Amino acid sequence: MIGLTAGLTLAVSLAGTSLTYAATPRATPQPGGSCPKVGKTYTVAGRGTLTCKKVKGKLRWTTPNGSTSGSQGGSASCTAPAGLVRRSAIPFGTRAPGFLISPEDHSYGSAAAIKAKGFNAVNVSVLMPYNTQGELDFSRYGGKAAWLCGLARGLASAKKAGLVVLVEGELQEANAQRGVEPGPVPTALRAKLADQVTSLMPDLASLLEQYKVEYFAPLGESEKWLGVDLTQANYPKWVAATKQIYRGKVFAQLFTGVPGQEAFGPLGITPNLTGLDALGIVFGDWQCSANSFAYTDAYVSAARSQGIGTILLSELGGVPKPADAVAAQSCMQSVVDRYGARATGVLFMDNPRDMPGAQVVEGQWPQTFVLGLKG
């Protein structure tokens, strides 16, 4: 899985209104956090300018096109639009981890562009930043309210475009720089951070329910970040906390892994999938190796034995372009057929377009492949 662009704040719209960069006239007021001075315009890297204005008594950032995009503290402009519905369509689309932060980094620059191409879904990640004390720390976003508000704007755009939306939590160091791939959480912080994730679930689940998000994984590939043991112990807690509020499908996206990695498959451990509605499969092996199939088969068997009926390909495809695209497409088709994903959904990995040698979706064979499955 490709990590999110970590130096950006989450306050961003899928339609292209971005509050993702710290505003600068060589200062660092953060859009979505404090709006320092009425009438002051700040240059926002890659997005033009944002201006601080007073609207209905509140300081709000105004985007280059004149629309307002959040308030001081992030509490305004977060009301879910009327008429949102949870769609039942089988999801066929892209897996774009950084889409809520910087949609322009992926080959489709907006939710509307994904829909216009013929897809009906997007699978996105949401960063959960943590500090060196093992606590979730939203200060770089202007606080938790601003963090949630930024997510709300992105979700609103995706839902209004008519997409089925899948959301996955992802952990990353709060001070990580742009372009840094998320990595395992330091061992000493893991237990405390797992509890912090549990505490966050009611707020996050409430937001996702308001926006009628269709699928939610509290922490995608959590064994990569927290290890297998803590994942076994805590994922059921995250699911239970989520389901008190959220009425969409709660799923787990398990890390396939390779021999020697800490993942359920390589370690031969059966994952605890208690309470889940669906299992998301990650399959990025262009060569369809025996190990990849063996680990994934074990995950699917575990899901079925624990009463989970929906098994979808929530992240199909690898990072670098395959050496042989024809063979890779044949491999991907065999994965779809093996796990019956044409009946449950396929989200193809759309890597950042500026990543050297990476496979993207738009205009290339994965686009035709997924649209052909959708029919």
Please tell me the least confidently modeled range out of 94-108, 215-229, 344-358.
94-108
CA distance 132 to 185: 10
Residue 45 has pLDDT above 80, yes or no: no
For the stretch 341-362, pLDDT in tens is 999 999 999 998 888 999 999 9
* CB atoms inside a 10 Å sphere around CB 343: 11
In a domain, 126, yes or no: yes
Beta bridge partners of 320: 358
In a domain, 31, yes or no: no
Which helix (H) or strand (E) segment is 311 a member of?
strand 310-316
Beta bridge partners of 282: 315
In a domain, 172, yes or no: yes
What is the pLDDT at residue 31?
39
What is the pLDDT at residue 295?
97
Residue 325, domain extent: 92-374
* CATH code, domain with 209: 3.20.20.80
For the stretch 8-25, pLDDT in tens is 333 322 222 222 223 333
In a domain, 239, yes or no: yes
Burial class of residue 27, CB neighbours in 10 A (0-12, 13-18, 19+): exposed
In a domain, 67, yes or no: no
CA distance 20 to 146: 12
Q: Under 8 Å CB-to-CB from 25, ≥6 apart: which residues?
A: 40, 42, 43
In a domain, 4, yes or no: no
In a domain, 40, yes or no: no
- Please answer whether residues 107 and 95 qualify as being in contact, where contact means their C-beta atoms are separated by less than 8 angstroms: no
Domain count, the chain: 1
Token pair listed for 86: 């949870």
- Between these two residues, 354 and 218, which has the higher pLDDT value? 218
- Between these two residues, 175 and 237, which has the higher pLDDT value? 237
In a domain, 48, yes or no: no
CA distance 305 to 218: 22
Token pair listed for 227: 């290890």
Burial class of residue 80, CB neighbours in 10 A (0-12, 13-18, 19+): middle
